[in-house]
Amino acid sequence: MPKGDTHIAACLIGWPAAHSRSPLIHHYWLRTLGIPGGYSIESVPPEGFAEFVLNLKTHGYSGANVTIPHKERALLLTAPDERARAVGAANTLYYDGDVLRSTNTDVEGFIDNLDASAPGWDRTPHAVVLGAGGSSRAVLFGLLERGIQRIALANRSIERARALADLFGERVVPIAWTDAPAALPGAGLLVNTTSLGMKGQPSLDLDLAPLPADATVADLVYVPLETELLAEARGRGLRTADGLGMLLHQAVRGFELWFGARPHVTAELRALVEADLLAHT
């Protein structure tokens, strides 16, 4: 959608959604780019989601982000692209003429944050991914697209890991959760996609000593800003990529689709969101 004098509005649809930092991010970009637009939160229960999405323009919106628990349903109500179909969830909706299309920007949010935080991370042929939930699907898609040759996927329910391996192919190797430490030697990348280490959740108890000295550790958790996993990784001199960086980078393409200008993730924006997180956690 071209930038112009028209006030363009987008929103975040979730249930609940009040905790989201997306308005802070998008209002920062609207202000710094001088675009007369808006971004709101819409708390929509599951029973009202279809009506809201199918009448998005009537509700005054040119596009939307979608969060829990609506991401899978959004896929069925829109025209999804390859990424959204592969991940099995849509988090960004936008109009192409009168067609409501959807995509998943978690993939590039994860990959772009890795590129910014640990350039050259993709020189490794081997990675270890912890967790087999929705976030894991986006991570696996991004790593495979980037050319990682072998991904050990550890999950407490190995059946769920096997299901993702069946979906993504033989380069994804399902392993038992207890076998994760044995997969670390030779792995140039470790990614935590679970909620372990998040505020209010159990810690992720994993010794990083077997990782190579040039490995990168990524954690999708961003509350707290520095998880115990990332603190241990930094203490060992390993490069890290945190969940806040992914949150910021995943917002870029949605903004561009709605408002017609590509924003940048800056130190000022990160400091703004960090301050808000620290003030409310």
| Residue 3 pLDDT grade (very low, low, confident, very high; cuts 50, 70, 90) | very low
Per residue in 176-195, pLDDT (tens digit) is: 999 999 999 999 999 999 99
What is the percent of the chain where pLDDT is above 90? 94
**Whether the predicted pLDDT of 4 surpasses 60:** no
What are the structure tokens assigned to 260, written together?
A: 């017609």
199 is catalytic: no
**Whether the predicted pLDDT of 6 surpasses 70:** no
Per residue in 135-172, pLDDT (tens digit) is: 999 999 999 999 999 999 999 999 999 999 999 999 99
For residue 61, the Cα-to-chain-centroid distance in whole angstroms is 23
Compute the distance between CA of residue 276 and CA of residue 230 in angstroms, rounded to an integer: 20
223: Cβ contacts below 8 Å, ≥ 6 apart? 198, 199, 243, 277, 281
Residue 258: name the closest of 52, 57, 49, 58 by CA.
57
**What's residue 281's pLDDT?**
72
**What's residue 17's pLDDT?**
86
**Whether the predicted pLDDT of 2 surpasses 50:** no
Count of beta carbons in the 10 Å neighbourhood of residue 78: 22
pTM: 0.93
Compute the distance between CA of residue 281 and CA of residue 271 in angstroms, rounded to an integer: 15
**Whether the predicted pLDDT of 5 surpasses 70:** no
3, 57, 71, 199: the catalytic one is 71
**Whether the predicted pLDDT of 270 surpasses 90:** yes
Per residue in 21-75, pLDDT (tens digit) is: 999 999 999 999 999 999 999 999 999 999 999 999 999 999 999 998 999 999 9
